[in-house]
Structure 1
Amino acid sequence: MKRNWSFFSIVNYIVLAVVAFSMIYPFIYILAYSLNDGKDSMLGAIYFLPRKFTLENYAQVFDNERIWRAYGITIMRTLIGTFLHVLLCTLMAYALSKRTLPGRTFFTFYIFLPTIFSAGFIPYFITLQKLHLINSFWVYVLPLLYNFMHIVILRTFLQGIPEELEESARIDGYSDFQIFLRIILPLSGPVLATISLFIGVAHWNDWFSGAYYVSDKNLIPVQTLLQEMLTEAESLSNSMQRAAQQGGQTVGGMSGAGATPESLRMALLVITVFPILCIYPFLQRFFVKGVMIGSVKG
């Protein structure tokens, strides 16, 4: 069937194509830069494809023990933090979805209050210090266990589940916890995937906690390491030049004549973003469905 193209449709597609290209191009540029020889990249004029292809940048990144350690910290905090966050927020949302819960209004207001008022950075830092979370792995996980908006989305979704399902389960002898595990969780797949994506990306992209709450270099995540590399470009470049004069060694135990601090940062940036880009397409259909259900029902 022949399609009739209107002027609006043509303009709409052109605008969307331009917007899509403006979002995709930075990734293309970073990938091309990371696959190009570092010294050759300093000449510029790299836009879509590497001019002098090499894998030396990635070889040096993967050969650095500090980066592997930081990557492991990021993966651990993302997996543990996402699991605990989704579990605890779902449990709280399930309880708050019951109109018969004693003190339901109080608990809702109690978790909502911190979203309006904040004591500030210094009191927050002192609180973490008193809880012995400073310079600890758990400073990445515990402060992000709850999020009011995630609880609201989950509660709204759970309120849309027919009560008859729970009543029939209770007739069969199920306890509240059994109902939660065997009925509520299986039916909540889309919204759980949505919340997992929200908090997972937040954990993966967080560099602030590692920069301000952790001084042990063995505990910093890869995003904090990347941030340090981005803010210390001049120092890295000078160190690389001095190391090259002394025998070809570069910063952090990395070696190679063609790599530069900028090319190494680009390679690390690609490695950092790549897992999220791989996971997101598989969760996208759940993401859209979960957001729509959580925002419309209730």
Structure 2
Amino acid sequence: MAPGATQTSPAGTGDRPRRRTVRTPGQWAVDVGIVVVLTALALATLYPFLYELTISLSSTAETQQAGLHILPRHPTFAAWQAVLHSSGIVRAYGNTILRTVAGTAISLVLTAMMAYPLAQRTFPHRRSINFLLLLSLLFSGGFIPLFLLVKNIGLLDSRWSLILPGAVGAMNVILMRNFFQAIPAELTEAARVDGASEMRILFRIVLPLSKPVLAVIGLWTALANWNAWFDALLYINDPNKQVLQMFIRNTVVTQQDPLLTGIDTTLQQPPSGQSLGAAAVMIATLPIIALYPFLQKYFAQGILLGSVKG
């Protein structure tokens, strides 16, 4: 029998014959190789997260030992308690949550208001604006002009400096525009005949039908705002307005704003600085990990519909 041929097995009276595909050793080898490679990549991706979790739950003596750290031998929550009792990280957490929620909401509204007219074929100068939008993906002014712009409009040391400069992204506009173009034009035309304004059409008809792409762009924007720290380094000088990632950077890299204020000094074995940094990283990562499964069902659908249609 030829490799990969289909073999028909005998069946009883009145039953359909069952077909069984004969796999060659080469096909089995390819499948095994793919499984091994994907398993290795999954473990390589999972290990840094598991390492940080293990270090955050380890004692000072365990963190100083060399080798792989997979599971803590004597788990302790001293580092987690110290981080959660630190007033600095609580304030930074609040600033990051405020930035993420406000930044994501403002970004979605502004992106939709820019993508909707570009999705209308009767919009004047539509091609020129789309060309400029694509051009901005290839060239940018750089950090110095952006810093001067933020300074000249009076946003330095303001929370708005972390939200407004990156509120509208060219890629997000293109993705949402393509999704809007896939919505049947008969819906918007019927609304115009009934006397609905363009803003009413956008917020009452188009956006309710665009939940997949809104979820995708919202997820991307929320992740970007949650993990951002460089703009806070440039624009924010007030320690009361620092975001969580900047706080962790100062703690782990430059050893500023230490988390030792939340540690009970009477403890015989207080957590090490490495455990404190790992606990802070885990606390900063867990909200995004908890949020992602709720938006994952929209992720692939939104990307495919927004990128293929148009």
Q: After superposition, what is the alpha-carbon deviation per residue over 1:16-71, rounded to whole angstroms, capped at 9, x for unaligned?
A: 11111110111111111111113432124452211221111010001100100001
Q: Is the 8 A contact 1:229 1:265 kept in 2?
A: yes
> Residue 44 of structure 2: SS of its match in structure 1?
helix
Q: After superposition, what is the alpha-carbon deviation per residue over 1:253-288, rounded to whole angstroms, capped at 9, x for unaligned?
A: 533532111100000000111111111111112111
State the identity %: 36
Q: After superposition, what is the alpha-carbon deviation per residue over 1:65-87, rounded to whole angstroms, capped at 9, x for unaligned?
A: 01000011001000000000011
Does 2:296 match 1:274?
Answer: no
Amino acid aligned to 2:218? S
Tell me by how many angstroms 1:197 deviates.
0.9
> Residue 219 of structure 2: SS of its match in structure 1?
helix
2:183 to 144, 156, 161: 161
> Residue 218 of structure 1: SS of its match in structure 2?
helix
2:146 to 116, 120, 124: 124
Which residue does 1:144 correspond to in 2? 166
Unaligned runs of 5+ in 2: 1-17
1:62-81 equivalent positions in 2, closer than 5 A: 62-81=84-103
Q: Is the 8 A contact 1:89 1:147 kept in 2?
A: yes
Give structure 1 regions of 4+ aligned residues with deviation exceeding 6 angstroms. Answer: 1-5
Q: After superposition, what is the alpha-carbon deviation per residue over 1:75-117, rounded to whole angstroms, capped at 9, x for unaligned?
A: 1000000000011101110011111112223333444444333
Q: After superposition, what is the alpha-carbon deviation per residue over 1:99-147, rounded to whole angstroms, capped at 9, x for unaligned?
A: 1112223333444444333333222212111111111111110011110
Give distance in 2, aligned partners of 1:187 and 1:230: 44
Tell me by how many angstroms 1:174 deviates.
2.4
> Residue 146 of structure 1: SS of its match in structure 2?
coil
Does 2:220 match 1:198?
Answer: yes
Give distance in 2, aligned partners of 1:37 and 1:142: 43
2:33 to 1, 8, 11: 11
Which residue does 1:58 correspond to in 2? 80
Which residue does 1:95 correspond to in 2? 117
Q: Is the 8 A contact 1:39 1:259 kept in 2?
A: no
Amino acid aligned to 1:291? I
Q: Is the 8 A contact 1:58 1:267 kept in 2?
A: yes
> Residue 176 of structure 2: SS of its match in structure 1?
helix
- The count of aligned residue pairs is 285
Q: 1:175 to 1:122 in 2, by over 3 A?
A: closer
Amino acid aligned to 1:218? N
Q: Is the 8 A contact 1:154 1:294 kept in 2?
A: yes
Tell me by how many angstroms 1:175 deviates.
2.2
Give distance in 2, aligned partners of 1:117 and 1:61: 41
| TM, length-normalised to structure 1 | 0.89
Which residue does 1:288 correspond to in 2? 300
| TM, length-normalised to structure 2 | 0.86
Q: Is the 8 A contact 1:32 1:46 kept in 2?
A: no
Give distance in 1, aligned partners of 2:272 and 2:64: 9
Tell me by how many angstroms 1:289 deviates.
0.6
Q: After superposition, what is the alpha-carbon deviation per residue over 1:184-221, rounded to whole angstroms, capped at 9, x for unaligned?
A: 01110101111011111110000101222111111110
Give distance in 1, aligned partners of 2:273 and 2:167: 36
Which one has the largest radius of gyration? 2
Between 165-174 and 14-23, the greater mean CA deviation after superposition: 165-174
Higher helix share: 1
